[in-house]
Amino acid sequence: MSGANGFQVSGYGPERAGWTRVFARDSVARRLDWPILLSATALSLIGAVLVYSATRNRTELNQGDPYFFLVRHLLNTGIGIALMIATVWLGHRTLRTAVPLLYGASVFLILLVLTPLGSTVNGAHSWIQLGGGFSVQPSEFVKVTIILGMAMLLAARVDAGDKPYPDHRTVIQALALATVPMLIVMLMPDLGSVMVMVVIVLGVLLASGASNRWVFGLLGAGAVGAVAVWQLGILDEYQINRFAAFANPELDPAGVGYNTNQARIAIGSGGLTGSGLFHGSQTTGQFVPEQQTDFVFTVAGEELGFVGAGFIILLLGVVLWRACRIARETSDLYGTIVAAGIVAWFAFQAFENIGMTLGIMPVTGLPLPFVSYGGSSMFAVWIAVGLLQSITVQRPMSA
């Protein structure tokens, strides 16, 4: 497993002496936030099982190999954990110096998507095909770099002790930094990601201590922007239809409302304990489209029931709860902002993804963090976990 290898290569040797050192008081391992780590790992592994359940019969997708998606999901998880370790190893403060570079690289990548190199999946032109069945969705990484970039700008003078709160100029700079990639992503158009980014920006601004005016101004601008987007016809028809179907799923049960209906039937039919793993008829019968990615939660709902699906929400709750704690307990504003940005990201993306399968949010193409199949998303969320771990590892020990 590459994850384990990564562990060894990273220098956390398997020797007894090494392990002792690793778990010594004040050691890195002791200071890691284990609830987050374990929850994220559990979510990824549950995701592997759900993805397997959803794809083992989809011969048209898995190229005849029922384990195709399972293996890849585990591989992605391993790479993700390796990336997390690398992030902790480097430390979020070190990364702070590399933020301009990372930001520039991620914006370059999403620009690349707009060129003929990019490819379209489900109406969104958000992917770059790497060949061999691998593809990258750079907008996932942009979420990370927006958080890091904005945190860097907003915290710079506060952490230096110059000001208690970021001033207007800094806020404007930070907003500009976020707006550029958001505009590009909107051109793809990947509306779901834009929505997540807007929420991230809001979370970051809130946590930075920026003036209330900015926070409310941004909320207002968001509302106006949403109306404008609707009115000016920037949205494609399929996006409008998704919203219409959200408002009334019976509108067109065979067409747009189909996903919503089938997803809700799958989850609703699960009942308390579900139909049992691999026994969900909705899942086995492939009634729910995109079930290994955006609609993976329906597999949990149908086959594991309220108990299993609730457990997934609980694990996400643990991650978010601990992340909030990290944001509150870190000593520097940079760490606080980064942690809060990640909280906003995970919370909204999870809410939107699960909410759409439950029929309380419109359908957008967003993966469920850790659980959905998809390399880029998996990598990005594990990098974010790495950032959280780095913040908690590097904070001063409380007395």
Partner 1 sequence: MTNIPETGRSPRVQIRLVVIQVLVLSLLGTLGGRLWYLQIREGEEYAEKASGNHVQQVVQPAVRGSILDARGVPLADNETRLVVSASRTDLMKMEDDGKAVLTKLAGVLGMRPQEVMEKVRLCDAETPQPCWNGSPYQPIPITDEATPKQALQIRERAEDFPGITAEPQAVRRYPSPGEANTAQVLGYLSPVTDEEIKQAQDSESPYLRSDQVGRSGLERQYDKQLRGKAGVTRYEVDNLGRVIGKAESDAAQPGSNLVTSIDARVQRVAEYELNEAMKAARKEYDRNTGTTYKADSGAVVVMEARTGRVVAMASNPTYDPNAWVGGISSADYKKLTGKNSNYPLLNRAIQGQAAPGSIFKVVSTAAAVEAGYDFDGSYQCSSAYSVGGQVFKNFESANYGAIDLGRALEVSCDTVYYRLAHQEWKKDGGTSPKGRPKDHFFKAAHRFGLGKETGIDLPNEVSGRVPDREWKQRYWEANKDAWCKTGKKDGSYVEKIAYENCVEGNKMRAGDEINYSIGQGDTLVTPIQMATIYAAISNGGTLYTPSIGKAIVSADGRKVSEIEPEAHGRLPISDATRDKMDAALAGVATRGTAAWRFGGWPQDEIPMHAKTGTAEVYGKQTTSWFATYTDDYAIVMTISQGGTGSGASGPAVRKIYDALYGVQEDGSIDRKKALLPEPAKSLPEIKPDGTIAAPKIAEDPVERERATGQDEEAPADGGQPQDDAATVATPAAENRQTRRRRRGAGRGGTTGTGAGARTGTRGRRRCA
Which positions touch partner 1 (CB under 8 A)?
Answer: 57, 93, 158-161, 164-165, 203, 206-209, 262, 264-272, 281-282, 284-287, 301-302, 305-306, 309-310, 313, 316-317, 320-321, 324, 327-336, 340, 343-344, 347-348, 350-351, 354-355, 358-360, 394, 396
Q: Between 81 and 207, whose beta carbon lies closer to partner 1? A: 207
Q: CB-wise, 44 or 259, nearer to partner 1? A: 259
Longest dimension (CA), the chain: 65
CB of 183 to partner 1, least distance (A): 26
Query: Dihedral (C-alpha) 197, 122, 78, 307: value to the nearest 10 degrees?
Result: 80
The three-class DSSP label of residue 163 is coil
CA 313 to chain centre: 14
The minimum distance between CB 348 and partner 1, in angstroms, equals 8
Dihedral of the alpha carbons of 149, 154, 158, 162, in degrees to the nearest 10: 110
Residue 126 vs residues 108, 129, 137, 258, 361: alpha-carbon distances, Å:
13, 10, 6, 24, 22
Q: Would you say 171 or 344 has its CB closer to partner 1? A: 344
Q: Are 201 and 150 in contact (CB under 8 A)?
A: yes
Residues facing residue 131 across a β-bridge = 134
Helix H or strand E segment including 129: strand 124-131
HSE toward the beta carbon, residue 48, CA cutoff 13 A:
16
Nearer to partner 1, 123 or 317 (CB): 317
Distance in Å, CB of 160 to partner 1, minimum: 8
Q: How far is the CB of 93 from partner 1 (least distance, A)?
A: 8
CB of 80 to partner 1, least distance (A): 22
Query: Cβ closer to partner 1: 13 or 35?
Result: 35
User: Min. distance of Cβ 331 from partner 1 in angstroms?
Assistant: 5
For residue 277, the minimal CB distance to partner 1 (Å) is 16
CB nearer to partner 1: give 166 or 386: 166
Counting Cβ atoms within 10 Å, is residue 399 exposed (0-12), middle (13-18) or buried (19+)? exposed
Question: Sign of the CA dihedral 270, 274, 280, 281?
Answer: negative
Structural tokens at position 385: 């976990």
Tokens read off for 100: 């301009």
What tokens appear for 185 in the block? 């992503």
Q: Which is nearer to partner 1, 83 or 332 (CB)?
A: 332
> How many CB atoms within 10 Å of residue 58?
15
Minimum separation from the CB atom of position 212 to partner 1 (A): 9
Task: Report DSSP state, residue 209.
Answer: T
Least distance from C-beta 394 to partner 1, angstroms? 7
In the complex, least distance from residue 256 CB atom to partner 1, rounded to whole angstroms:
16
| Single-letter amino acid code for the residue at 180 | V
Closer residue to partner 1 in complex, CB, 15/60: 60
**CB nearer partner 1, residue 73 or residue 264:** 264
Sign of the alpha-carbon dihedral angle for 282, 287, 258, 71:
positive
Judged by beta carbon, residue 32 or residue 265, the one nearer partner 1 is 265
Q: How far apart are CA 209 and CA 94, in angstroms?
A: 23
The end-to-end CA distance of the chain, in Å, is: 39
